[in-house]
Amino acid sequence: MNRREAYGHKVFRREWLGQTLVATGLFATLGDAHSVAAALDAQPSEQDTPESDRKASAKEITAEMIQQASWISRVELNEAHCEDIAKRLNAKAAAFEALRTTPIDENTPMAMAFQPSFFISSDEALRTETNPKEASVSKENKHASQGSGISDWLTKLDLPDPQVDPIAFWTVEQLAAGLRQKRFTSEQLTKMYLDRLKKFDPELLCVVSYNEQAIEQAKEADKELTEGKDRGILHGIPWGAKDIIAIPGMPTTWGAVDYRDRKREVTATVAKRLFDAGAVLLAKLTVGTLAWGDQWFGGMTRNPWEPATGSSGSSAGSACAAVAGLCGFAIGSETLGSIVSPTRVCCTCGLRPSFGRVSRFGCMTLGWSMDKIGPIGRTPKDCAWVFQAILGADGLDPTVVERPFDWRQQTLEVSDWLASVQFGVSSRPKVNEKRIAEMIRESGGKVIEIDFAADSRIGAMTDAISVEAAAMHGDLFAKSKEDEQVGKWAPTFREAQYLSAIDYVQAMRARVDLIQKTEEVLRKVDVYIGDADLARTNLTGHPSMVVSYGENTARNRPHTVALTAKYFSEASILAAAEWIQRKLPPTPKIPDLVASNANP
């Protein structure tokens, strides 16, 4: 091609680009479109363009491609339609490429904030979010007031005999009382838990990294308590963080081998609030790769009751460490079962709060419209104390709303409490759900049968995870040479590229209907015995909790049952879980792995 022909070709190309841009409706006049077309066409000549770039630019969309892909749109297309669509998409190619290649900070949320509670009440007070600045102030005041009167109560609390009930398995309240009764210091507690983590982690594989500042943080907690600065019941209590929680100075790996050394220099809100409450971070605990399952780049996290098996996921390390007595409590997260599943498998307690109760800022995103952060502990009260410390708006996560948490630290008497509570259970309950319902009835409580209407759209709604996760982790997936680099997600990420944006929006609209219908059923009772279907309640954002109780003699470990309730009813769930656990204490309390190796 000579210079004159090349020039003519370039003019023709700009003219075609200009006309195509006008056809898209983005520009009102051909003159405006030509200006943009000239800028878009200001590219190096083919001779100056690297071979890899020439190959990329050669991927022009054709009418034949559109026709072959027409099943995605479900719209009947003729030849002219396909030609027109191909031109329009080629004109937008540069914008799409810019969108896909321009980095977005991992803590940037979607412009649309999911607030499912908005759809369940016409009460303006329930719809209005507290000003984040006011929420922050009230949070600080709460911590201060919590510390001011708590020492007197804890100094009078009766404590177990460590020879019978090892300190590593004491409740949060007992550990807090032990600190104030000077049975031990936070430094001693922290050293004990660190020793246990290092002793049992080679078999359990629940630790990703240790906090090198843990002992210094514990010494500071002891100093403050000595000086009379009591931050509350979590002051000096050692804890573990699921390794999606960003903490400066420590790797935050998300369970992915490509991120094994990556440090994310923001402090997640949940971590900041626990630091403000005086809790001492021991370690980052394992998470399945990109929050799926119990398999991470270091291996499979084990179940302390049966170390040959996995602990389920993705809050694998948090559930494992809590039940094995390797920390005072832990923090997990759930998108579609990642608190409920591992706490069931590991036979401990975990609270999945209502969506929008706890900020996810600084935590790995899997699904902006589905992720929840919650506590994992050995008792419902452990979970309650931690939940109280971490809930509330921070001005950084737009989905979080302020709601009361009316939880009372009191002895639950059957005659006073159980008689005032209405329980629900499925007409086709699972064995443990039926057992708990019968126990409640025998104790004088009320249980009615309630069922949720089937919804054939739930499968499509769960594609929210596929779409949102594929968008969030697209950069890692694009750079991956092996599927294992994204764990179990590779097939889902590939599939997500073909999910329609229109179907995603329609599924999100369908969730409103599911939210309203699920809330309508749950409002018939105070507590529902069961998880009410993990897919359903994770899509709707309703709270749920697993509680360990009684003895499973066939497997030498406790039983578990899930409890669910209407929005913002965490206090009711926790009270019911505490009653169940007091009525039938978990037996055995300590896994054989720990009991046979640990010092009292």
**Rounded CA gap, 161 and 353, in Å?**
33
**Rounded CA gap, 192 and 202, in Å?**
17
Which DSSP state fits 506? H
3-state secondary structure of 527: strand
| 166 phi, psi to nearest 5 deg | -55, 140
**Rounded CA gap, 130 and 140, in Å?**
15
**CB–CB of 353/400 below 8 Å?**
no
Best CA proximity match to 576, nearest among 437, 449, 452 = 437
Specify whether 87 is catalytic: no
**Rounded CA gap, 281 and 330, in Å?**
10
Q: What angle do CA 292, 293, 299 make, to 5 degrees?
A: 115
Which of 117, 314, 315, 544 is catalytic? The answer is 314
Here the tokens at position 175 are 């550990």
Here the tokens at position 331 are 């923090």
Specify whether 544 is catalytic: no
Which of 139, 242, 284, 372 is catalytic? The answer is 242
**Rounded CA gap, 503 and 158, in Å?**
58
**Rounded CA gap, 14 and 36, in Å?**
9
Best CA proximity match to 321, nearest among 400, 236, 208, 414 = 208
How far apart are the two ends of the chain, measured CA to CA in Å?
86
Sequence-ordered list of residues with C-beta below 8 angstroms from that of 553, at least 6 positions apart, any chain: none
**Rounded CA gap, 498 and 467, in Å?**
10
Burial degree of 484 (CB within 10 A; 0-12, 13-18, 19+): middle
Residues listed for the chain: 600
**Rounded CA gap, 182 and 171, in Å?**
16
Specify whether 229 is catalytic: no
Question: Residue 304 region, left (φ>0) first, then alpha (ψ -120 to 50), else beta?
Answer: alpha
Q: Do strands 302-303 and 446-449 pair parallel, antiparallel, or not at all (unpaired)?
A: unpaired
Here the tokens at position 69 are 């892909």
Cα dihedral 410→416→419→420 (10° resolution):
-70
Helices (H), 252-399: 269-276, 316-323, 340-345, 380-390
Which of 311, 315, 333, 338 is catalytic? The answer is 338
**Rounded CA gap, 355 and 528, in Å?**
18
**Rounded CA gap, 81 and 64, in Å?**
11
Q: At what angle do helices 172-180 and 186-204 cross, to 10 degrees?
A: 140
User: Annotated active-site positions, please?
Assistant: 242, 314, 338
